[in-house]
Amino acid sequence: MKQSTFGYILLVLFASCKAIVLPTGTFSETNLPAEPDYSKPANWAALPTIEDFADLTPDTTFMQDLQSISEADVFFLHPTTYVGDKGEDQWNASCDDEVCNEKTEEGAIRYQASIFNGAGRVYAPRYRQAHLQIFYHEELKDRGADKAYRLAYQDIKAAFEYYLKNYNMGRPIIIASHSQGSGHGKTLLKDFFDGKPLQKQLVAAYLVGWPIEENFFKNIKGCKSAKEIGCFCSWRTFKKGYKPEKFWEPNNNIVVTNPLNWVTDESLAPKSLNKGAVFYNFNKIYKQAIQAQVYDGILWTNKPKFPGSFFLTKKNYHIADYNFFYVNVRENAQLRVASYLKEEGTEKESLKSIDSLNN
């Protein structure tokens, strides 16, 4: 597996002013990418039975890929990687798009999905993701943006149904996602878990990088502590003092979890609680680099220092929602799985310990 292009991607998303390609024409159901067949491993960005980027860990001394002995599953929904680069002018990405798939694997799967390989077996479907620009350009709404978004969820639903029938076998489940993936993830949670029999198998959901309203679910609440199970966590990261113009308004009812102390109040979690962030160099962990504080529906942090951070000039840290808190999220997922198994009376020796940089 070659070195990731995440450093380049980070600089592009934070600092670039390059031209963006928009979807052309009007969304049409007669001109769609082929529907993915989830019986084929090629339509999964990660599976526990094949070698992929979800198997990696940034520090093999203290972290190990435990998928082969894990008692839980992780269903991971990757963020948008069909962003409007040259040639990306369709409403939905094809699951056969090699360039887009490479972005997904080397970015989201390596830097996000890998967080969870210490807690469960990682399943990450490819899907006909909606073009990034449907979320930012109002004129695209009249041309079918909502239909493109629903098509993406149609694939995720099909992938999850295939997963349940062929892979899960009644095991506890973590739903983990980011950005567009979390938009679909909250719908998936509502459709399959909220007040349904499957809710008993829910360890927790990490719906990161997307606003989740406090009362969106009837039976699933926001997590209030590090060990709580059957709940969801969510946050969107910005530089302290910044109030985004899009997707935020004051006095909202958006649930925000602080990934350093796993509470939802506005107390400051200092850098000392940050067990390790991962930036563009995947193999280097930066301990105590970032603090965090909940503020009115978003999460505020300081600007971190790392080689190349000079280029990080924007105050929207969306791309790093997970990476700023890599080790904390990893250990928390392990802790919640252990709590679930203990409550169910099925805890096994392999999951009683949590790989920690402090060991």
154-205 pLDDT per residue, tens = 999 999 999 999 999 999 999 999 999 999 999 999 999 999 999 999 999 9
pLDDT in tens, 21-41: 999 999 999 989 999 999 999
Question: pTM for the whole thing?
Answer: 0.93
pLDDT band at 310 (very low <50, low <70, confident <90, very high): confident
Local structure of 95: helix, strand or coil? coil
Q: Which residues contact 146 (CB under 8 A, 6 or more apart)?
A: none
Order of strands across the sheet that contains 293-295: 237-239, 298-301, 293-295
Upper half-sphere CA count for residue 228 (Cβ side, 13 Å): 18
Percent of the chain whose pLDDT exceeds 90 = 82
Instruction: Tell me the mean pLDDT in the region 2-13.
Output: 42
**Residue 5 in this model has a pLDDT that exceeds 50:** no
pLDDT for the residue 19: 75
> Would 2 be classed as within a structural domain?
no
The secondary structure element, H or E, covering residue 339 is: helix 326-344
| Domain assignment present for 23 | no
Higher per-residue confidence, 314 vs 183: 183
pLDDT band with cut points at 50, 70 and 90 for residue 9:
very low
| Structural domain boundaries, residue 118 | 40-351
For residue 49, how many C-alpha atoms fall within 13 Å in the half-sphere facing its CB? 6
Query: For the chain, how many structural domains are there in total?
Result: 1
Structure tokens at 79: 């963020």
Contact 80, 183 (CB under 8 A): no
Tell me, yes or no, whether 1 lies in a domain. Answer: no
Q: Is 22 domain-assigned?
A: no
- Mean pLDDT of the region 304-331: 91
Instruction: Let me know if residue 4 belongs to a domain.
Output: no
Q: Rounded CA gap, 181 and 353, in Å?
A: 30
* 15 has pLDDT over 90: no
Residue 5 lies in a domain: no
Indicate whether 6 belongs to any domain: no
Residue 326 CA to residue 273 CA, distance in Å, equals 12
Q: Could you tell me the pLDDT band of residue 345, with boundaries at 50, 70 and 90?
A: confident
Whether pLDDT at 101 is above 50:
yes
Residue 139 predicted with pLDDT over 60: yes
Q: Is residue 131 part of a domain?
A: yes
Which of the pair, 350 or 158, is modelled with greater confidence? Answer: 158
User: 3 or 49, which is more confident?
Assistant: 49
Residue 248: pLDDT over 90: no
Tell me what pLDDT residue 98 has: 97
In this structure, are residues 148 and 23 in contact, taking their beta carbons and an 8 Å threshold? yes
Q: Which has more pLDDT, 232 or 345?
A: 232
